[in-house]
Amino acid sequence: MKTVYDFTVKDRQGKEVSLSEYRGKVLLIVNTATGCGFTPHYEPLEAMYKEMKDQGLEILDFPSNQFANQAPGSDEEIHEFCTLKFGTDFPQFRKIDVNGEDADPLFAWLATEKPFEGFGKGLKLAALKKYADMNNKKFGDKAYIKWNFTKFLVDREGKVIARFEPTVDMKEVKDAVAAAL
């Protein structure tokens, strides 16, 4: 059975990184963007990382420009924005595609393990659903991720145990991470 440890990704400099380097850790894997309405999620993510890193949490940040061109910068520009504006210290990887024919295999696998179940309820849903539906039509059955700041929680054995859409309250995400630790 496949686990997250079977995947290799590229860091910001293009160096191959085996996710087996994170064996035994609880992972929160996030696709991000610097110009999104959900970009403020970086703040609670960094706070969670500082609080729980010593307990075995790693947050893995994968910028993607596939949602309304909300991450147009280079890998270095994105990193600089995140560190200066939000003080992020968790690992940030090379910008990737999370949907379509060129989707990173990691995200295709994550989304297959925990498929999209909806954005939930509330005002954010109405606005987001319209844009997500328009954006994802071009990817058809390879529209794995519906919007920026989708988060996947992976246990210490490398299995995906939860998926959180960007509309999920960050307190709920933090509670699930704490339970996994």
Can you tell me the distance from the alpha carbon of 173 to that of 85, in angstroms, rounded to the nearest whole number? 22
- Partnered with residue 17 across adjacent β-strands are 9
The two tokens of residue 39 are 């970009």
Active-site option among 10, 12, 36, 135: 36
Q: Is 82 a catalytic site residue?
A: no
Nearest Cα neighbor of 31 from 132, 83, 80, 99 is: 99
A 10 A CB-CB count for 7 gives: 18
**Which residues are marked as active site?**
36
